[in-house]
Amino acid sequence: MRLLVASRNAKKLEEMRRILAEHLPADSGLEVVGLDDVTPFEEPVEDEPTFEGNALLKARAGVAATGLPTIADDSGLCVDALNGMPGVLSARWSGPPKSDDRNNELLLAQLHDVPDERRGAHFACAVAVVHPDGRELVVEGRMDGVVIREVRGSGGFGYDVLFVADDHPGVTTAELSREDKDAISHRGRALREIAPLVAQLLG
Confidence of residue 15 (pLDDT cuts 50, 70, 90): confident
- The answer to the question of whether 192 is labelled as a binding residue is no
Summarize the confidence of residues 179-185 as an average pLDDT.
92
Question: Looking at the predicted structure, is the pLDDT value of residue 24 above 80?
Answer: no
Region class of 28: left (phi > 0), else alpha (psi between -120 and 50), else beta: alpha
pLDDT at residue 25, rounded to an integer: 72
Q: What is the CATH number of domain 2-202?
A: 3.90.950.10
- Catalytic position from the list 74, 101, 144, 180: 74
User: The whole model's pTM is what?
Assistant: 0.90
Going by C-alpha positions, the residue among 57, 78, 80, 60 that lies closest to residue 69 is 60
Average pLDDT, the chain: 93
- The answer to the question of whether 187 is labelled as a binding residue is yes
- The answer to the question of whether 186 is labelled as a binding residue is yes
Where exactly are the structural domains of the chain?
Answer: 2-202
Whether residue 144 lies in the annotated active site: no
Question: Looking at the predicted structure, is the pLDDT value of residue 11 above 80?
Answer: no
